[in-house]
Amino acid sequence: MSEQPALRRVLGGFDATTVGIGAMIGAGAFVVFAPAGAAAGALLPLAVVIAGFVAYCNASATASLAVRYPSSGGTYVYGREQLGHWPGFLAGWSFVTGKAASCAAMALVFGLYAAPGAEKAAAVAAVVGLTVVNLLGVTRTALATRVIVSLVVPVLAFVVVVGFSSPAARSPSDGATGIGGVLQASALLFFAFAGYARIATMGEEVRNPRRNIPAAIFGALGFTLLLYLLLALSLLHALGPGGLAGATAPLRDVIDVGVPGEGSMGRGGAVVTIAAALASLGALLALIAGVGRTSLAMARQGDLPSALARISARYSVPWAADIVTAAVVVGLLVTTDVLTVVGFSSFGVLVYYAIANIAAFTLTERQWYAPRWLNAVGAAGCLLLAFTLPAVSVATMLGVLAAGAAARGVVLARRRRRA
């Protein structure tokens, strides 16, 4: 294959932070609070804190590794360099498969809010449209994400204020919750915290990566953790544990409760619906970029077909990987009810970050924000949360990871025979 042009470093710290926030708020605000509330009940804020702490462990590991290896691919690259080819492949395969499911979930959330009854058609259109935006260059991706974030965050702040201003709900919790429920809720909520990975996977396009990547990761994570905690508290106040557990659109339900006469068909409900659609688009935009760049890194090393390593000379984007990612996501949308695969994505991402923490543990150059003990806690926390997910999610993703490993083993055996 002919030599491909390099990606350009065009993202500053603010743009990188915005990309990370945009990847998180769509998932966290509009997808996982109801199922997490069903698992944790009144202890939902504790689950948010646990998920946020594990995310901080992972963020510190990711930041120190990204400083050492500021190239596209994230933990796939880190695992290869620090642990060996097989751990790197497992990290990359976990990310690509888990985040493909996340892309489909975000696209369908957009369809459900923007075009009820024709949600799959709208979801496919969103994937195609945002893939075109990504193909026009990473600066356009960052600009679009910045616009979406600037519109969505004020709406979420409005929901928080309305939630706290509503009369306290008196609905009982549906069933007792214990530490198992809290941990399962934390694992589901982790799906919402994973957006900062997009900053690391785009590390080859960030200016002054040694300074900007850690700052962007911690800035995006801190902002989102505070927002999630406020949302959890306000949702419990307005809806109660039982009401939150049974909600299909909890943020819109808060408007129903807190603003009399402004239900889901009024102006307040319409604003929340628009915000949900925009947040889903922001998350989907960043997810497509992240999956494409990890696929690019894996293709460069021969762990995926080499055709996926092609980069546009004009726009400096991995166009082949982005197009294949979009095709896979469209296939999932057409054939699957992807809202059931949030657990699949959580499992894949937790495995990915467990490997990141182990890789960071082996670094000799230590950053002040990533002591070795924190890497050990992060790896253990990721594996603990991963195996508290629903059994179907765990079993399915273990099968997907095993299939990927088997396919790689076959390819390596054929290469050895040819050699």
Phi, psi of 11 (to 5 degrees): -95, 130
Give the C-alpha separation, 75 to 77, whole Å: 5
pLDDT of residue 202: 62
Residue 215 pLDDT class (50, 70, 90 cuts): confident
Residue 142 pLDDT class (50, 70, 90 cuts): low
pLDDT tens figures, 154-202: 888 888 998 898 888 765 555 446 889 999 999 989 888 876 666 665 6
* Mean pLDDT, residues 19-35 taken together: 75
Q: Between these two residues, 79 and 257, which has the higher pLDDT value?
A: 79
pLDDT tens figures, 358-382: 999 999 988 888 899 999 999 999 9
**% residues pLDDT > 70 (the chain):** 85
pLDDT of residue 264: 47
- Of the candidates 33, 79, 20, 105, the one whose C-alpha atom is nearest the C-alpha of residue 344 is 105
Distance of CA 167 to CAs 234, 254, 259, 269, 409, Å?
11, 11, 11, 18, 59
- Provide the mean pLDDT of the chain: 83
Cβ distance 66 to 200 under 8 Å? yes
Residue 387 makes CB contacts below 8 A (sequence gap 6+) with: 394
Tokens of 46: 């504790």
* Mean pLDDT, residues 341-345 taken together: 82
Residue found by looking up tokens 């990141």 in the block = 356
Strand positions, DSSP E, 292-357 = none
Tokens of 343: 């657990």
pLDDT of residue 330: 92
> What letter does residue 10 receive in the DSSP assignment?
-
Looking at the predicted structure, is the pLDDT value of residue 345 above 60?
Answer: yes
Helix (H/G/I), strand (E/B), else coil: 18? helix
- Considering the entire predicted model, what is its pTM? 0.81
Q: Between these two residues, 390 and 383, which has the higher pLDDT value?
A: 383
Q: Which helix (DSSP H) or strand (DSSP E) does residue 370 occupy?
A: none
> What letter does residue 390 receive in the DSSP assignment?
-
The DSSP code sequence of 100-157 is HHHHHHHHHHHHHHHSTTSHHHHHHHHHHHHHHHHHT-HHHHHHHHHHHHHHHHHHHH
- To the question of domain 13-418 being in CATH 1.20.1740.10, the answer is yes
Q: Between these two residues, 390 and 261, which has the higher pLDDT value?
A: 390
**% residues pLDDT > 90 (the chain):** 28
Q: Where are the domains of the chain?
A: 13-418
Cβ distance 307 to 219 under 8 Å? no
> What letter does residue 167 receive in the DSSP assignment?
P
pLDDT tens figures, 175-185: 446 889 999 99
pLDDT of residue 175: 47
